[in-house]
Structure 1
Amino acid sequence: MHFCPSCSNLLLVEPFAGQNSETCLVCQTCPYMYPISKPFVSRTILKSKEVDDVLGGEEAWANVDSIEVVCPKCQHDRAYFMQIQLRSADEPMTVFFRCCNKKCNHNWKEN
């Protein structure tokens, strides 16, 4: 994308009906025109944003209680749990579970 140096609006690619029938970058708001004499390509590779852990990472699970509930993955009978308010205050809290079996460590939320 290219922008007008005069008014900062987006420039459009349009054929120019002048003497040599070139293609031009044209501003729709002001009379700015820039003739395109050769193809040009520019590529910008965007850097990925680092993803934050919604549940607070491993530190959040350090001091939580456990409860008797069956893990849907390994069928272990105990899981750690924590409640987090994800929606507005008038909605109930969401309960997240993590299996107590160290080999499993499966996370799930209450339906």
Structure 2
Amino acid sequence: MEFCDECGSMMKTDDGVWVCGNCGYEKPRDAANESHMTSTAAREDSEIVDMSDVDDAEIGPTTTVKCPECGHDKARYEMKQIRSADESETRFFTCVECGHKWREDDH
């Protein structure tokens, strides 16, 4: 992963250069430096996981929270770190009644 020297955004490769999608800054790629980077390319042996036969109780814990769609008071939840490590995790909810999904951020 490479970050922009100008604005700090994550850069993407375009042939022989790194390009910032935010400000357009470009810099040449360095093969020696990139040899230490980890690739996030999809694995060829990965497959889709069929969750249709999984009992709702096995998917995750539930909590008491009001669904903004149907008003039901119970939802499954999971926590994920989607921002920088020094910020709190984001809670993702799925209503057990209607299946509506939403998220709640700590600020």
TM-score in terms of structure 1 length: 0.42
The structure whose Rg is larger is 1
